[in-house]
């Protein structure tokens, strides 16, 4: 670990109950999400317009995430640096009994001012430990948009590409991207 990484090593916390996601935390998460989307990030929720977005547009999606929190089903992992939110992700268990041994990682994002400091990698490391040791999951999956280098980021973290839906994501007219499906055995 370099001195630069040591100075900015994030603290990772988990929120697994709705009552623990205070209004201030929800506001910070939504503000981060807004900034990431508007910078071209691939974490646009289903019921939101394409960028640019505002925090009020994302608040219903954040409220749905918070309402679904449960220690064995869904949890938020938050990375902070010197008390400031640096990034977050959602880790959730699949609900159908056939795939309840699997989990899904969603909304992996690093706040713009903390990019390049290993925040995303730290979140992913903690997500695998929480999934395996705390939630009893055996496998994780995620979906990533092509064209942003995300598949390389996940490969470095041990994930394997298992398929693509060519041109499934229309970012803008004439800008179709592959939806990349990846998995990680725990």
pLDDT in tens, 8-36: 689 999 999 999 999 999 999 999 999 99
The beta strands (E) that lie in 45-159 are given as 74-81, 84-93, 102-110, 139-145
Residues 6+ apart with CB under 8 A from 115: none
pLDDT in tens, 53-72: 999 999 999 999 999 999 99
**Residues in the chain with pLDDT < 70?**
1-8
The DSSP letter of residue 136 is -
pLDDT recorded at residue 181 = 98
pLDDT recorded at residue 4 = 46
pLDDT recorded at residue 76 = 98
């Amino acid at each position: 670990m370099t001195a630069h990484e040591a100075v900015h090593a994030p603290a990772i916390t988990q929120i697994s109950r709705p009552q623990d996601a205070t209004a201030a935390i929800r506001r910070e998460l939504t503000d981060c999400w807004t900034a990431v989307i508007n910078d071209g990030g691939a974490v646009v929720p289903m019921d939101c317009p394409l960028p640019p977005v505002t925090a009020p547009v994302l608040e219903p999606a954040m409220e749905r995430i918070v309402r679904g929190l449960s220690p064995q089903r869904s949890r938020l992992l938050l990375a902070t640096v010197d008390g400031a939110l640096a990034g977050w992700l959602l880790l959730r268990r699949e609900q159908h009994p056939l795939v309840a041994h699997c989990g899904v990682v969603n909304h992996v994002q690093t706040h713009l001012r903390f990019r390049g400091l290993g925040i995303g990698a730290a979140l992913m490391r903690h997500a695998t430990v929480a999934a395996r040791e705390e939630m009893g999951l055996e496998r994780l999956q995620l979906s990533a948009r092509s064209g942003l280098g995300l598949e390389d980021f996940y490969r470095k973290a041990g994930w394997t590409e298992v398929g693509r839906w060519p041109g499934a994501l229309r970012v803008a007219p004439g800008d179709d991207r592959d939806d990349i499906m990846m998995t990680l055995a725990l």
